[in-house]
Amino acid sequence: MGLTVALISGVVFGLGLILSGMINPAKVQNFLDFAGSWDPSLAFVMAGAIGVASLGFKLTLKKAKPLADAVFHIPTGGEINASLVIGAAIFGIGWGLVGLCPGPAVAALTIGGRGTQEFMLASMAGIAVVALARSLMGQSRSQPQPETHSQPQAQK
């Protein structure tokens, strides 16, 4: 059942990205161009997504266990370190230059989006380089593993 839920979730997410225009690099770049041809429409997409996700998290975490797993996997790390800052900076620069990030790029692959194959190859190469560098330095991950909970923790 877990794979079915993941597949349905992925299809709904991808369709949302396609319908909202998030797979169009020009639309994304215009959203980021405050001094030029700024297109604020993606702000409404983000606001809607944040609202739906917030409601979903609130309702889901009231349950004793998730629908498609035995326990909740809730991240506990909140540490800001050099790896996080550098990764966020590279992500932001790439998003601004190319107009794609991984989720929309995967959705764009389904419809043959312009330059998407090259973006995905470059992303996979970057992931491989980081994995190789970490293994050579003896690091497995830069973040702590998420804790698992059979019941959600009380909100503070």
Digit-coded pLDDT (tens) for 5-23: 889 988 998 888 888 888 8
- Say whether pTM exceeds 0.85: no
Radius of gyration of the chain (CA): 18
Q: What is the per-residue pLDDT across 45-94, written as a single tens digit (0 to 9) for each?
A: 889 989 999 998 898 888 888 877 888 888 887 888 888 898 889 888 88
Distance of CA 4 to the CA centre of its chain: 20
**Local confidence band at 156 (pLDDT 50, 70, 90 cut-offs):** very low
pLDDT: which is higher, 140 or 37 = 37
The one-letter amino acid code at 31 reads F
Give the C-alpha separation, 31 to 43, whole Å.
Answer: 8
- By residue count, the chain amounts to 156
pLDDT at 154 over 60: no
Strand pairing class (147-149; 72-74): antiparallel
Q: Among 48, 50, 52, which residue's Cα sits nearest to residue 20?
A: 48
Give the C-alpha separation, 52 to 32, whole Å.
Answer: 23
